[in-house]
Structure formats: C-alpha cells, structure tokens
C-alpha cells in the first residue's frame, strides 16, 4: 500500500507543479505546507501572510485545510525582501563555507494557520517527540522571521517558547511582546507601539487636536495599542469623543453591520480627527463607506496601514479628507528593486507565491483573472494586478515587469532586510566565522542563536543597530501625509519622531491640507480655545470646558490655561485681562481740568477779596461801609483768604503735612470769618430786641467783639490741636476697589473722623447761632442792619455742608474735590452776601439814598399820619467830623403810661422807638402808639 501511494505521488507531482492551483489549500499547493523553500546549511523560517485572510473561518467546525484568499502584494513584497536579503548575505560571503537557506510559509493573517505552519517547519525531516527537556532539540529551522500581525506573533511566540526558538518580527508592534517573561524568544527590528502611540498623541497635541475618535480592532494588536494610546492621550491632554471596536474576523456575519455602526458614529460626532488602529482590510471597508457618504475627516493611520499602496489607490480616496500616520524607518534599495523586476525562484528551490503572482499578473486563461469572470471564483478581493499585455505570452512564469516596484512601497522592506542581517551577524558570532571559514557547529540548538541575537551589534547603512533589553529596536518613526496626486494619493514624509529623546521634528511649511484647502491646519476641539484673559472650566471631560474670565487681580496670558496667574506686587488687573499693569495714581494734579477749575475759582475768590478790601478802604467813610463795620469786614476777609488758601493744599500729591495744613487752615480761617458774622448778628440782636433792664445790662456786658472773636477762634484752635494729637489726618493707604485701576491718593481725616466732625460741627454751631440771632432781628429795616445777608449766608453755609456730609461719605473716590468745592462755595456765599452788595452801594449808590429809604420806612410803618402829631427831632451836630461819621444812636425804653405829659414832649417817658442817626439833617420819627396823650416808652440805647 505504501509503495502504491508513493508511485501515485510521483506520477501526480509533475502535473501539480505544471498547473499551479490558484487556491492556497494547505497541502494541496505542493508537497509541503510551505510555498517557498531554498536549500542551505542553516535554514531560516519565513512566516508572512501572502494572502490577506482565511475564507470561512467562522464556519470552520472540522480540522480541514485552510482556504486563503486575497493575494496581498505588500506582504508578498516583504517576503521577497527577506529572500533577497538572504541571497545578498550568501553572495557577500559573510559566512564562509555556510549557505543560508529558507522555508517560507503563508500565515494568511491568521494565528491558527500560522501555528500549523510552525508545526510543519519544526517537523521537517524529523519527528517532534514529546520531551520534558528540549535543550538539545535541533530542528532544521534555527530561527523564524515573522509574523506580520501582533496577534499572530503572540500565538507563535507562545509555541516557540517551549523550544526557545527565536522569533524576529519586522512589523508586530504590540507592547505586549516586550514582556520578556511571557515572550522570551521574541525580538523585533522596530520599536513597539508604546512609542508609536506616544508619537501619535504628541502629534495631536502639536496640532491642537484634543477631541478625537478612536476605532480599534478586536485583536491583540488593536487592544494593546488602544490601551497604550489612552494613557499617552491623557498625558498630552487629548480626549476621546468615542471609542469603537471592530470585530477581528472580516468574514464575520456582523462585519458590515459593525462597520456601518462605526461609520454612523464617526459621522454623528463633532470630532474631526479619527485614529484607526485596525487592519488594512477593515480600513478599506470603512473608507469606502465614508466615500459613499462624502464624509470628510482627518484620519490618523497606525503602522498597520499608514503606508498601504493599495489604499492610496482606492477609488474616491480624495473624498475622505486628510490622512497622516507614522511608519517605521524605510529606505529604497536599488538592488532590491532590480530583484523585483526579475523575479525567479532561488536555484535548487521553489517559490509558489512568485508563480501565483505571475499568474495574477500575466495569465489570461483563468476566469478568475479576467475583467469579467466567467465562473465563480473562490479567490476573493483580487488586487488590480492584471497586465494590459497578459495574453501575449505563452508562458506567464518566464515574464517579468516593474509593476511591483511601482505598485508597492518597496522601501518598507528595509526592516526585513535588517532582520536578515541581524541573523547573519549573530550566526557569524555563533559559528566563529572569520574571513575564510566558520568553525562552529552548524546543527546547533536554536536557543544558542537566541542568546547571540540578544547580544548582537552590527553596522547597517552607517548606523549601529542592536536589540534593547526588551528585544526591540530603538530607532525612529517617519510621519507621512497622504497628499493628492491626481485621483489617488502619494506618501510625503513631513516629520520624524525620535524614540530616544521623544521629540517630533516637523516640516510643515507650505503644506496644503485637503480639509481646509489651504495652509490652515484642520481643527478638532470639543470647545473653542480660551483666549488670553480667560481660563478653562472643565465640564464632563478635560477637553470640554467653558471659558470664564479671570477675576480682578489675576490674569491669563496664553490660550487654554487652567488657572489664572496672580498679579505681581505693584500691579493689578481688571476682570478678563490678559496682563497686569501698575495702577494709575489719582489725585488733583495741577494740569487736570478739575484742579484747574478749582484753582481758577480760588484765584478769582482771592481777587474778589482783594478788590473788596481796596473798596472798603477807599470808601470807608461812606454810609454803607459804616454800617458794614470796616474793621470787622477786614477781619472776615482775612479769614476767607485763609480758607481760600486751604484749597491750594488740596492740589498735587497729598502728604502728611498737606493733609494737616488744609484742615487747620480752613478751620481757623472760616471760624474767624463766622465769628465776625456772629458779632454782627449779636449787635443787631441787642440793638433791636426788647429786654428788661437787668437782662439788657447783662447782655451789654457780654458784647465785647475782640473777646468774642478771640475766644471763638481759640476754642477752634484747641479743637484742631487735640485733633492733630489724638487722631491726626494722614494719607489714606486703603487699597482701592478691585474693579478700579485707579489708586486714589487722598487724605483721610483721622481713623475715626471724630476730630473732623467736631471741627465742622463747631463751625456749623457758630453759623446756626448767628443765623438764629439774625433771624430774631429780621424785622429791623435792612438799611440799618445786615440781618438778611447774615441769614442768607449762614443758610447757604449750612445747606452746603449738610449736602457735603452724605456725598463725602458715599463717594470715597471724589472726597478731595468735593471737600475743596464745599469750601469754595461756602466762601463765595460769604463774599456775595456781605462784601459785593456793600461794594455796589459804595460805588453806585446816590446821595439821597438814605432819604428815600427812610421815606419808604415811614410809609410802611405809619399809614395814617393825621391821627398823631409828628415830632421833629433835631440832630445835634457833632463837634468833629469823626463823630459825624461814626456815631449811631438807638434808644428804647420800657412801656410807661404818661398821659400827663405833653404829646410833643419826648423824653424817658415818651412812647415809641427812637432812632437817631447823627447827621446834619432832620428826620421825622413816627410813634408806635396812635392814642393821643398816651406814650408807651421803652428806652434802650447802644452806640458804636
């Protein structure tokens, strides 16, 4: 039976090799599960997916052969890069006397299929016996290069851990594989995804993309990369708008449904940046869905598809928006490109994958590769590789062209070439090779090569390469942008990310973005930037916030700050400011409009006083000046001049001396003025109010003008002295309002304002007393007294200062000008009530003024002159001019019934009020009683 099977095998083998099946059905492809092989002294296993998937995997219930479909040009190119590098090592004579061979198996991007391949590799020409110790296990395959996907590498590494056979990957980037406890046999010629996701997070931060969506695959690679990205995103303040997971198996019954759900999520979200950590096939289906709905986003590609030549030629790829992603270091090789243009199996070996590719490219007989297939084709998702001249060849296997060089990014094969050279250098050390021979044993156990691989250091392209303690290469990533090139895209390198120093170097000048149709970078933010002057108030997630203005005394000088900065000492800011400034000092400067107005009013008041003083001196002998008491008026003018002088102390920047001087000057000056007014009011009160003789005598004793004035002013001086001692005015150092940038520099009238209040109250008391005395004598004709002027001036003073108090209390910023204005108004009230009328009378009054006044008084007081005889009174001439000018007499007496006297006789018993002005004229005096022969007599006299 065995002989019969052998004969049938020998008979069918040429037929099977002559007619290559287009379905990769495990053992049906050739006598070996693996599709490519070349003899050698040391065999290297190559584990790469020449096909994109296993068909019907989710329906597999029996351990049947795997049916692979979808020829993958990029993975095919990577396998050829590995084979070419092996041939280069052999040609270079790096291992004298030793030839490297290889055995290549197709994983079809599936872990189970890969395990089948590995089992086959390990059992070639030997039996895989069950042992407890595999230290001396010597399979023909000493090392395996692969796999492409992290999920596959994890599964294979688990198996190889048993035999300690090294596994070197050029694309598996999962951080999981850096765990040397779980995967001691795994090495790779690229950095792990921890660095890639960190680079992605940094590029998002650089472009201010803090609101992104993430779609990842439900496999070891996708889950590990996603978890790594989440950690790095948080460190770079990038938030996830959503996170969606796609199923691992593309033939899963819910595949299209899941992709449509993810597509709808992408369309409904306001996140404009989407990170795709999925396989190329899933990206293809998703992008087609986006193209159909004209959905534009900025896509971040993981290394799994960032340099996919097939996707960049996808129909409608320009509709999806900008695409950029990180890829591993790549470099074109002229010798490798030439190799791709002249594909052929190695001498003494075979490569069914090359044969399959050439059949796809040049064979027009099969219905699967025609433009319109005539029969059902089990090979799905064929790439568009059919040549335009496919039917011109009798044998497609002998023809070559440059399609692979143009269709695939051959620079991506660099990491595969590096892996081969790393193995060659480790073998050189293990086999003790020199320039002429290798003395080491070639059939060594694989674990020895693993030790050498971990220690190897070698030069490649003028760069020293080695594996770190985690079995990873530490080099750099390139940042690619997919730019438009007709209806497709091309890769443009716009930056680098150095793993060691974790820095991104970008060259984005004159870069055109598809999303914005210009140089403006696309935006993807949950909230708009918070401008300087505002800070972020975080809402649900750190990237979603509202912008609130900085409060007074704080500022923010940059965008999107989390907290406001405190203003340095000596500076301040208002609400929502982006910087701090020194507060401006506010006081009455000489050149400001308000102080100029106050000073002009002060100067004008002083000039009025000066003019009044001159007029009073010149016309001191005139009747108006005599009635105004020139000496008292001059004293009043002196007091008002001091009050006006106090206003000057309100100007310029206050200091302690000015604060004290202005209050004392006003207090003494205005008290002096009011005391003189009080003397005038008291004089009129004594002259025209009836009192008993005893009271009259006592009141007359109190009337001593110099004593009254000195006493009143002295008491005010004592009040001011005590005020300065116990609660002196000082420069107010109270901090201004937080809402104000003005620092009000003004005087404060003591800490308690008691002294200031007593001072003002004292002057107000004097003014009130003068007002009451004048009010009592208000019926006296104005021609003989100043009661009307006194009443009006004191009322004006009281009104001004009663209004001043609430304004002073409530308006702290304007206290200084309000105080000065109150002093000016009250001072002007005195001037216009006491001095200006007298000056007017002195300058423009007529000679018969007094006569007309007395005549008008008689008409008012004596409406019937016939009922009572009129008595003529001759005024005695004074002996001297001074007496004529200064003597005024007023007499009154108590009431007496004197009917026996003659009606024409006037004496102490006469009834009536007798007023005598010493002059050269005669005047008629009207009695107060109309009854004849009855005289009511009140006699009191006072002379000045």
- The answer, yes or no, to whether residue 784 has pLDDT greater than 60, is no
Which string of DSSP letters, residue by residue, matches 181-240? TT-TTEEESS--HHHHHHHHHHHHHHTTB-EEEEEEESSHHHHHHHHHHHHHHHHTT-EE
Q: Express each pLDDT in 871-886 by its tens digit.
A: 333 333 333 333 333 3
Q: Give CA–CA dist 870/583, Å, rounded.
A: 81
Please give the pLDDT value at position 777: 65
- Note whether 251 and 56 are within 8 A (CB): yes
User: Which of 665, 589, 640 is closest to 825 using CA atoms?
Assistant: 640
Q: Give CA–CA dist 533/579, Å, rounded.
A: 8
**Comparison of pLDDT for 828 and 885, the residue scoring more:** 828
**In the chain, % of residues over pLDDT 90:** 34
Q: Express each pLDDT in 569-586 by its tens digit.
A: 889 999 999 999 988 887
- Note whether 38 and 101 are within 8 A (CB): yes
Q: Give CA–CA dist 273/132, Å, rounded.
A: 53
Q: If pLDDT is split at 50, 70 and 90, which confidence band does 394 have? A: low
Q: Please compute the mean of the pLDDT values over residues 431-459 and round it to a whole number.
A: 93
Average pLDDT, the chain: 79
The predicted model scores a pTM of 0.62
- Say what the alpha-carbon torsion angle 731, 735, 739, 745 is, to the nearest 10 degrees: 20
- The answer, yes or no, to whether residue 626 has pLDDT greater than 90, is no
Please give the pLDDT value at position 415: 94
Q: Give CA–CA dist 400/339, Å, rounded.
A: 10
Q: Kindly give the pairing relationship between strand 298-301 and strand 273-277.
A: parallel
Q: Which residues pair with 54 in a beta bridge?
A: 68
Q: Give CA–CA dist 825/597, Å, rounded.
A: 13
Q: Give CA–CA dist 355/360, Å, rounded.
A: 9
- Note whether 194 and 225 are within 8 A (CB): no
Q: Kindly give the pairing relationship between strand 141-146 and strand 42-48.
A: parallel
- Note whether 911 and 927 are within 8 A (CB): yes
SS3 of 713-771: the string is HHHHHHHHHHHHHHCCCEECCCCCCCCCCEEECCEECCCCCHHHHHHHHHHHHHHHHHH
- Note whether 549 and 534 are within 8 A (CB): yes
Name residues whose C-beta falls within 8 Å of residue 185's C-beta, 6 or more positions apart in sequence.
157, 160, 161, 164, 165, 166, 167, 450
User: Which of 140, 187, 184 is closest to 162 using CA atoms?
Assistant: 184
Q: Express each pLDDT in 178-224 by its tens digit.
A: 999 999 999 999 998 899 999 999 999 999 898 999 999 988 888 98
Identify the three-state secondary structure at position 602: helix
Euclidean distance between the first and the last CA atom of the chain, given in angstroms as a whole number:
168
How many residues can be counted in the chain?
A: 944
Residue 881 corresponds to which tokens in the numbers above? 């001019």
Using alpha carbons only, what angle is made at residue 435 by residues 430 and 438, rounded to the nearest 5 degrees? 35
Q: Express each pLDDT in 359-373 by its tens digit.
A: 888 876 544 444 444
Name residues whose C-beta falls within 8 Å of residue 314's C-beta, 6 or more positions apart in sequence.
284, 287, 288, 291, 488
Residue 910 corresponds to which tokens in the numbers above? 């006469």
Please give the pLDDT value at position 927: 37
Please give the pLDDT value at position 373: 41
Q: Give CA–CA dist 19/222, Å, rounded.
A: 40
Using alpha carbons only, what angle is made at residue 309 by residues 311 and 354, rounded to the nearest 5 degrees? 120
Q: Give CA–CA dist 172/192, Å, rounded.
A: 8
Least confident of 44-48, 234-238, 588-592, 710-714: 588-592
Please give the pLDDT value at position 735: 79
Q: Please compute the mean of the pLDDT values over residues 94-111 and round it to a whole number.
A: 94
Least confident of 128-132, 458-462, 484-488, 554-558: 128-132
Q: Give CA–CA dist 17/356, Å, rounded.
A: 12
Least confident of 232-236, 393-397, 632-636: 393-397
Please give the pLDDT value at position 65: 85
Q: Kindly give the pairing relationship between strand 942-943 and strand 888-891.
A: antiparallel
Please give the pLDDT value at position 11: 34
Taking only Cα atoms into account, the Rg of the chain, rounded to an integer number of angstroms, comes to 58
Q: Which residues pair with 31 in a beta bridge?
A: none
Q: Express each pLDDT in 505-558 by its tens digit.
A: 998 888 889 988 888 899 998 888 889 999 988 877 778 888 999 999 999 998
Q: Which residues pair with 48 in a beta bridge?
A: 106
Q: Which of 35-39, 128-132, 373-377, 643-647 has the highest mean pLDDT?
A: 35-39
Residue 305 corresponds to which tokens in the numbers above? 């598809």
Please give the pLDDT value at position 46: 97
Residue 604 corresponds to which tokens in the numbers above? 């004008």
Q: What is the DSSP letter of 668?
A: H
User: Which of 169, 40, 69 is closest to 443 using CA atoms?
Assistant: 40
- Say what the alpha-carbon torsion angle 735, 738, 741, 744 is, to the nearest 10 degrees: -30
Q: Which residues pair with 186 in a beta bridge?
A: 167
Please give the pLDDT value at position 780: 60
Please give the pLDDT value at position 705: 80
- The answer, yes or no, to whether residue 936 has pLDDT greater than 50, is no
Residue 330 corresponds to which tokens in the numbers above? 């790549």
């Amino acid at each position: 039976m065995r002989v019969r099977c052998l004969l049938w095998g020998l008979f069918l083998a040429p037929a099977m090799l002559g007619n290559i099946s287009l379905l990769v059905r495990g053992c049906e492809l050739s006598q070996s599960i693996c599709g490519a092989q070349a003899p050698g002294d040391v065999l290297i296993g190559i584990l790469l997916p020449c096909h994109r998937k296993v068909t019907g995997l989710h329906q597999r219930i029996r351990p049947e052969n795997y049916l692979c479909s979808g020829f993958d040009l990029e993975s095919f190119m990577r396998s050829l890069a590995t084979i070419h590098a092996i041939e280069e090592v052999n040609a270079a004579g790096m291992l004298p006397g030793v030839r490297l061979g290889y055995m290549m198996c197709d994983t079809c991007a599936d872990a189970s299929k890969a395990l089948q391949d590995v089992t086959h590799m390990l059992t070639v020409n030997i039996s895989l016996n069950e042992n407890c110790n595999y230290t001396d296990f010597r399979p023909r395959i000493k090392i395996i290069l692969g796999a492409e996907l992290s999920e596959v590498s994890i599964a294979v590494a688990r198996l190889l851990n048993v035999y300690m056979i090294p596994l070197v990957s050029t694309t598996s980037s999962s951080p999981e594989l850096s765990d040397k406890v779980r995967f001691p046999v795994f090495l790779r010629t690229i950095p792990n995804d921890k660095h890639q996701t960190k680079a992605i997070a940094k590029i998002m931060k650089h472009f201010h993309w803090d609101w992104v969506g993430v779609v990842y695959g439900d496999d070891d690679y996708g889950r590990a990369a996603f978890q790594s990205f989440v950690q790095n995103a948080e460190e770079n303040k990038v938030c996830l708008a959503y996170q969606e997971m796609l199923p691992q198996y593309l033939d899963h019954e819910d595949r299209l449904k899941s992709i449509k759900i993810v597509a709808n999520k992408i369309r409904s979200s306001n996140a404009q940046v989407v990170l795709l950590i999925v396989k190329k096939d899933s990206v293809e289906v998703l992008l087609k869905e986006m193209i159909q709905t004209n959905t534009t986003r900025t896509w971040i590609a993981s290394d799994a598809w960032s340099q996919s030549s097939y996707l960049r030629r996808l129909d409608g790829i320009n509709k999806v928006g900008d695409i950029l992603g990180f890829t591993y270091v790549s470099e074109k090789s002229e010798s490798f490109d030439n190799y791709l243009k002249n594909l052929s199996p190695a001498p003494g070996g075979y490569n069914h994958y090359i044969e399959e590719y050439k059949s796809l490219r040049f064979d027009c007989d099969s219905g699967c590769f025609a433009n319109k297939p005539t029969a059902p084709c089990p090979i799905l998702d064929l790439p568009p590789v059919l040549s335009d001249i496919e039917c011109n060849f009798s044998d497609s296997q002998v023809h070559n062209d440059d399609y692979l060089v143009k269709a695939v990014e051959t620079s991506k094969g660099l990491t595969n070439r590096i892996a081969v050279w790393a193995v060659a250098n480790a073998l050189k050390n293990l086999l003790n090779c020199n320039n002429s021979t290798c003395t080491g044993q070639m059939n060594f156990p694989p674990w020895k090569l693993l030790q050498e691989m971990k220690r190897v250091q070698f030069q490649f392209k003028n760069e020293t390469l080695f594996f770190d303690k985690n079995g990873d290469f530490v080099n750099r990533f390139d940042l690619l942008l997919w730019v438009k090139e007709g209806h497709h895209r091309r890769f443009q390198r716009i930056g680098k990310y150095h793993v060691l120093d974790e820095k991104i170097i970008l060259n984005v000048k004159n870069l055109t973005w598809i999303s914005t149709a210009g140089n403006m970078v696309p935006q993807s933010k949950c909230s708009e930037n918070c401008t300087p002057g505002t800070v972020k108030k975080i809402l649900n997630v750190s990237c979603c916030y509202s912008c609130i203005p900085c409060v007074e005394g704080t500022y923010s000088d940059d965008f999107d700050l989390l907290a406001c900065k405190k203003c340095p000492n000596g500076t301040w800011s208002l609400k929502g400011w982006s910087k701090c400034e020194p507060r401006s000092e506010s006081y009455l400067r000489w050149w400001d409009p308000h102080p100029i107005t106050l000073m002009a009013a002060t100067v004008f008041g002083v000039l009025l006083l000066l003019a009044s003083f001159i007029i009073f001196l010149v016309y001191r002998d005139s009747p108006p000046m005599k009635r105004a008491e020139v000496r008292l008026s001059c004293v009043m003018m002196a007091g008002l001049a001091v009050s006006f002088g106090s206003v000057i102390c309100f100007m310029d920047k206050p200091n302690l001396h000015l604060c004290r001087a202005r209050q004392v000057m006003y207090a003494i000056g205005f008290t002096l003025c009011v005391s003189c007014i009080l003397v005038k009011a008291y004089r009129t009160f004594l002259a025209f109010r009836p009192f008993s003789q005893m009271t009259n005598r006592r009141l007359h004793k109190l009337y001593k003008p110099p004593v009254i004035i000195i006493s009143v002013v002295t008491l005010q001086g004592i009040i001011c002295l005590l005020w300065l001692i116990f609660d002196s005015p000082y420069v107010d150092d109270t901090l201004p309002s937080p809402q104000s940038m003005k620092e009000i520099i003004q005087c404060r009238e003591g800490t308690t304002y008691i002294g200031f209040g007593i001072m003002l109250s004292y002057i107000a008391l004097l003014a009130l007393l003068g007002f009451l005395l004048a009010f009592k004598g208000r019926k006296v004709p104005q021609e003989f007294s100043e009661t009307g002027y006194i009443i009006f001036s004191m009322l004006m003073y009281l009104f001004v200062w009663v209004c001043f108090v609430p304004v002073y209390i409530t308006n702290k910023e304007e206290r200084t000008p309000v105080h000065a204005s109150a002093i000016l108004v009250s001072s002007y009230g005195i001037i216009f009530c006491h001095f200006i009328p007298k000056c007017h009378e002195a300058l423009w009054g007529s000679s018969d003024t007094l006569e007309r006044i007395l005549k008008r008084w008689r008409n008012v007081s004596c409406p019937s002159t016939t009922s009572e005889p009129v008595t003529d009174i001759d005024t005695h001439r004074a002996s001297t001019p001074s007496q004529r000018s200064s003597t005024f007499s007023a007499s009154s007496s108590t009431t007496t019934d004197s009917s026996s006297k003659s009606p024409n006789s006037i004496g102490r018993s006469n009834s009536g009020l007798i007023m005598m002005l010493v002059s050269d004229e005669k005047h008629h005096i009207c009695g107060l009683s109309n009854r004849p022969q009855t005289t009511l007599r009140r006699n009191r006299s006072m002379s000045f």
